[in-house]
Structure 1
Amino acid sequence: MRYTRLRLAISLAAILSSLSALPAHAQKIIKYAHFHPARMDQSMHASAVTFKEHVEKATSGSIKVEIYPAGQLGSAQQIMEGLRLGTVELGVVHEGGVSGVYRPFNIFGMPYMFQSHAHAYAVLDGPFGKELGEDLKKKTGIRLMAYADNGVRHFTNSKRVIRTPDDMKGLKIRVQPSPVFIELVKALGASPTAIDWGETPAALAQGTADGQENSVTTIMSASLYQHQKYATLDGHIYGFFGYLINDRFYKSLTNEERLAVDAGVEKAKVVHRDMTRSLDLSAKKVLSEKGMQVTELTPAEVDQFRNATQPPVRKYLETSVSKEWTDKILSAIEAAKK
């Protein structure tokens, strides 16, 4: 009898021990991918840390956020594919990367659309931006949570001061492998050279390309000023990053977890926008301090660039991407000016 009670006690203890070892709820993991160095002076990383701190605290640890900076999970194309498949839960991807799986995002390559950061925010945060996000989700299964700044894009080069479209003639300008950017540079009389981002610093150092176009944030983070003497603050493109999440994963969260993720993205967006906008607005000072000769254009000079580039780029977008979405963004831009 004593032996039977002993065996029962041992068995019960083993069962209780195994049950206590099981988590009450399985912890959910968000793999968060971005492309900036893992430094708090980098807008993408500072915003990622902001997201992680908020979500983990707000969910009492039911969600764990793992940040993968500096392209550790692959290129923009690979991250987009991971978001579609669900192997990456959340990614912060620039508009060029998004357009690889959802062509309408190419419309953001229309040059000289926005008058200011506030003008861009009014379009992106308004009905147009929401409608585009819904269509992205419907077509790809990727939910667009927010738009954040990738900086206003400017031209730099190693040869001469650029003040008019004629000054661009003959220059070899590195562009991302995108037909929209190729059309833009061709319209200015320069020679577009499509080069992947990872090869760009070497191409500038070796003279494969005379110049490039990017935001101050990117110029600084990649130290492109080391190989570029001249900068022209023409502001031809307002670049942005989409905060993207796999929709199946998002729907698998509890209501409380979704609220935490929504709020975390909003906090991250604010940090991201504020840091990038601050650099944009101090572009002349920041680049001059790195030894670059910076040229600021008057509104009349910007109009020369706009008049040279918008018609051919618009024609390309209407015929090769989507006339519907091209018309919609131009209407939203006009409405946001009022």
Structure 2
Amino acid sequence: MTITRRTMLAGTASVALVGTLRHAGAQTAEFNYKYANNLPITHPMNVRAQEAVDKIREETNGRVAIQIFPSNQLGADTDMLSQVRSGGVEFFTLSPLILSTLVPKASISGIGFAFPSYATVWPAMDGELGKYVRGEIEKSNLVVMDKIWDNGFRQITSSIGPINTAADLKNFKIRVPVSPLWTSMFKAFQSAPASINFAEVYSALQTKIVDGQENPLAIISTAKLYEVQQYCSITNHMWDGFWFLANKRAWERMPEDVREIVARNINEAGVKERADVEKLNATLKEQLTAKGMKINETDPDSFRQKLKDAGFYAEWKGKYGDDAWAILEKAVGTSLS
């Protein structure tokens, strides 16, 4: 990391602190809760979360004060998952694929090339598939909000050249989040996946520990990954979101009417954030090109066929079980079989 980048992150922390404590008398709230996430303060998720926090405080007459800790300030994803379970933080947003380290079936929404577009994502995640996953999450003694927030379709960046077909991924050293599904998928592509928490991605790319990584365009932009990656290939290889999780004991400490206010505002903010991310991603290709990235489009056919040939879909159908897989295929079609 450079001094400039450390300074930038320190500034981010200051902005977050000022933004969340700007209400006079914040310390007098009946419920002082912490919300942690791994994204920069400028990402739509934190912008909309701040709006929700403000509305919650107003509608509860100051009883609930939620402080936002962005950019992994309280630890890496796996650390914060432990904290939300123990009560170290009260709220946390996490990708279902990383959540699968605790709730194995949560990652079913991230199966490679399952969703062709947002037109299939939201009916599935607001419908039967999302309901199924939330039921699995609740078995792990966590509270989960009804509306999943958007991370976006994930793209592959590289410092060594563009990814045009599945063949280009052979022996490619790629950072993936700490999740069995990601590791499995890139092994099926004969890549060399390395599980690295997001807090360490920039430095791993900068020091060439890995050749590339994969993330939605909004994260590639807000985390400034274009500074250490030259190529961006539009693969749309998986859709990813963020479940808004709560510590069950902290949640149940709030009266039912207060919980309703908190849940409603978080869910409404999540729906607005979805529109923000989709709109942002639509403009980012041009912005990233202006920052020096070389962007190329790809065809999903070679990638999907490679996964089929490697037995990836059959393996994960067996892991999730026939019932869960049937819910997925009902939402996206049977092209994965």
> Aligned-pair distance for 1:245?
1.5
- Quote the residue 2:228 is aligned against: 227
> Aligned-pair distance for 1:138?
2.5
> Aligned-pair distance for 1:43?
1.4
> Aligned-pair distance for 1:320?
4.0
Q: Answer yes or no: is the 8 Å Cα contact 2:112–2:237 preserved in 1.
A: yes
Q: Answer yes or no: is the 8 Å Cα contact 1:110–1:313 preserved in 2.
A: no
TM-score (norm 2): 0.83
Which consecutive unaligned segments of at least 5 residues does structure 2 have? Answer: 1-27
> Aligned-pair distance for 1:117?
1.4
| CA separation of 1:88 and 1:198: change in aligned 2, threshold 3 A | closer
Q: For the pair shown, which has the larger CA radius of gyration, 1 or 2?
A: 1
Matched, 1:308 2:306: yes
SS of residue paired to 2:73: coil
SS of residue paired to 1:149: strand
Q: Answer yes or no: is the 8 Å Cα contact 2:35–2:90 preserved in 1.
A: yes
| CA separation of 1:133 and 1:72: change in aligned 2, threshold 3 A | same
Task: Tell me the amino acid that sits aligned with residue 200 of structure 1.
Answer: V
> Aligned-pair distance for 1:133?
0.5
- Quote the residue 1:280 is aligned against: 281
- Quote the residue 1:291 is aligned against: 292
Q: Answer yes or no: is the 8 Å Cα contact 1:51–1:268 preserved in 2.
A: yes
Matched, 1:98 2:96: no
- Quote the residue 2:40 is aligned against: 37
Q: CA RMSD in A?
A: 2.2
| CA separation of 1:194 and 1:253: change in aligned 2, threshold 3 A | closer
- Quote the residue 2:7 is aligned against: none
- Quote the residue 2:112 is aligned against: 111
- Give the 5 Å matches for 1:28-107: 28-38=31-41, 41-107=42-108
SS of residue paired to 2:147: strand
Distance 1:134 1:177 in 2: 22
Distance 1:234 1:138 in 2: 34
- Quote the residue 1:330 is aligned against: 329
SS of residue paired to 1:241: strand
Distance 2:171 2:98 in 1: 28
- Quote the residue 2:17 is aligned against: none
| CA separation of 1:211 and 1:56: change in aligned 2, threshold 3 A | same
Which consecutive unaligned segments of at least 5 residues does structure 1 have? Answer: 1-24
- Quote the residue 2:13 is aligned against: none
Matched, 1:138 2:136: no
Q: Answer yes or no: is the 8 Å Cα contact 1:175–1:192 preserved in 2.
A: yes
Distance 1:205 1:31 in 2: 31
> Aligned-pair distance for 1:257?
0.9
Task: Tell me the amino acid that sits aligned with residue 314 of structure 1.
Answer: Y
Number of positions where the alignment pairs a residue of Structure 1 with one of Structure 2: 306
